[in-house]
Structure 1
Amino acid sequence: MKMQWSLILSILFAIIIAVFAILNMESVNVNYLFGEAHLPLILVILFTALLGAAISGFIAMFRAIHANRQINELKKEMTAKEITIATQQNEIAALQHLVQPEINVDKVEGEP
């Protein structure tokens, strides 16, 4: 459900940006570090919106990759601990099996 709301809000935001860009058709001077250009404002608005979306997408992608790596490490750690627990449970069961016959023998010997 969260993904659907995110998609709806993204589409709504894109529509608002598109309408805002269409309403601003006049040309403007854009100063870059390496030069200057005379561009329609609609292109400047759309380019900066797309650049912002791309940067946000890359950041989200890197966070997802990091989270997946962490998940895989934790799964490996969990598997190792489950194996340790199973081994310890087997050892406990073996020890109980060794101690159990002694208790049964004591009960039989004590009965008249």
Structure 2
Amino acid sequence: MNKQWRILFALILVLIITLLSVANVDPVSVNYLFGMVDLPLIVVIIVSLLIGALLVGIISSLRIIQLQKKIRQLKNRSYLSQEKTDEPVKDQED
């Protein structure tokens, strides 16, 4: 059932992109560091979305790496604490 929802979502997304493509074919001027170029508006929209998604993916990946490192540290700390509690207690003689 989950796979069917993904396929349905993908089809809806393709339909939306197609409708946007048809509605936004007017050329726009894009000024960038090295010059200027005329592109269809939909190309500018899609490239902007892809750049945004890439940035979000990179930032999310960095956060995931930080959290995985923290998990490893906590597991090591837990393991060391467990080793200390597993050692038998020595009787103290006065």
- Give the TM-score, by structure 1 length: 0.63
SS at match of 1:25: coil
- Using the alignment, how far apart are the partners of 2:52 and 2:37 within structure 1? 20
Percent identity, aligned pairs only, is 31
Equivalent residue number for residue 48 of structure 1 = 48
Consecutive unaligned residues of structure 1, counting only runs of 5 or more, are: 1-6, 99-112
Equivalent residue number for residue 78 of structure 2 = 78
Deviations 1:12-42 (A, max 9, x none): 9955862334311100100112211111111
Alpha-carbon distance change, 41 to 34 in structure 1, aligned in 2, over 3 angstroms: same
- Using the alignment, how far apart are the partners of 2:70 and 2:10 within structure 1? 31
Structure with the larger helix share? 1
- The letter for the 2-side match of 1:28 is V
- The letter for the 2-side match of 1:22 is V
Alpha-carbon distance change, 24 to 15 in structure 1, aligned in 2, over 3 angstroms: same
RMSD across aligned C-alpha pairs, in angstroms?
A: 2.8
SS at match of 1:30: strand
Equivalent residue number for residue 30 of structure 1 = 30
Shift of 1:72: 0.4
- Give the TM-score, by structure 2 length: 0.74
Structure 2 residue 61 is matched with structure 1 residue 61 = yes
- Using the alignment, how far apart are the partners of 2:33 and 2:16 within structure 1? 26
Structure with bigger gyration radius: 1
Count how many residue pairs are aligned between Structure 1 and Structure 2: 86
